[in-house]
Amino acid sequence: MHQFDLKNRTSIITGGAQGFGLNIAKRFLNSGGKVIIWDIDENELLKASKELDNSNLSFNVVDVSNYNQVKVAVDKIIKNSNIDILINNAGITGSTASLWEYDIEEWNKIVNINLMGTFNCCKCVVPNMIKNNYGRIVNVASVAGKDGNANASAYSSAKAGVIGLTKSLGKELADKNIAVNAITPAGAKTRILKQMSKEHVARMLSKVPRGRFLEIEEFTSLICWLSSEENSFSTAAIFDISGGRSTY
């Protein structure tokens, strides 16, 4: 496995207490970085901290859909450190239902966490990156944001918004040493699959030419490269990791 150099780099990973986020944190720590994981679930954060057991790890209970919570957490961090890397990983899929039957409160919750959460974190972190003329932002979108998944209109719409946000922000920061990119995974072997019906999961898998779901380590490798100094040119781009489901 390729070893990336993240020494002297401080990262925020949202949704970092489990699944993709936890694996990213583990890999970043192994690459010499300082990692701050955010999650809404304090118990999961405590479990993650115990599992990773690293002096370069810290955590905060943060609801990314709440702008004030994000702002307070960021202000606290930048009193003592720069923020070099931001991984907007926090997200939920929500239930599966046709658009005209979708619960309005749940629709708003999905959009607020997936899209507004990404906006809130970028809005608060970017000024510190501009000040230091360095930054790497990776937004976790989804092939659902490209293709639109039937019976997942809220999630598909939110992730399409993340793709648009990434392209806009990447261009706004293109004259600086700050890269903003997104990745679009297909279904992966994480707990998020348990939020969906068996029928929906089977339908997702049937669309993947590779014939299997994404492995977490494969996802993390792409995140690591995009977060490193090796990625010195790509920005405002969408990197596909869907096993051939999407080819654009």
Element housing 233 (H / E) = none
Cα separation, 223 vs 211, whole angstroms: 22
CA distances, 19 to each of 32, 33, 136 (Å): 21, 19, 21
The catalytic residue among 102, 134, 155, 248 is: 155
Cα separation, 76 vs 37, whole angstroms: 14
Write the Ramachandran bin of 246: left for phi over 0, alpha for psi from -120 to 50, otherwise beta: beta
Of 2, 51, 43, 1, nearest in space to 22 by CA: 51
Of 236, 117, 125, 135, nearest in space to 181 by CA: 236
Which amino acid is it at 2?
H
| CB contact at 8 A, 29 and 54 | yes
| CB contact at 8 A, 127 and 77 | no
155 given a catalytic annotation: yes
Q: Which value, in Å, is the radius of gyration of the alpha carbons in the chain?
A: 17
Which residue is associated with the tokens 């090796």?
A: 230
The residues annotated as belonging to the active site are 155
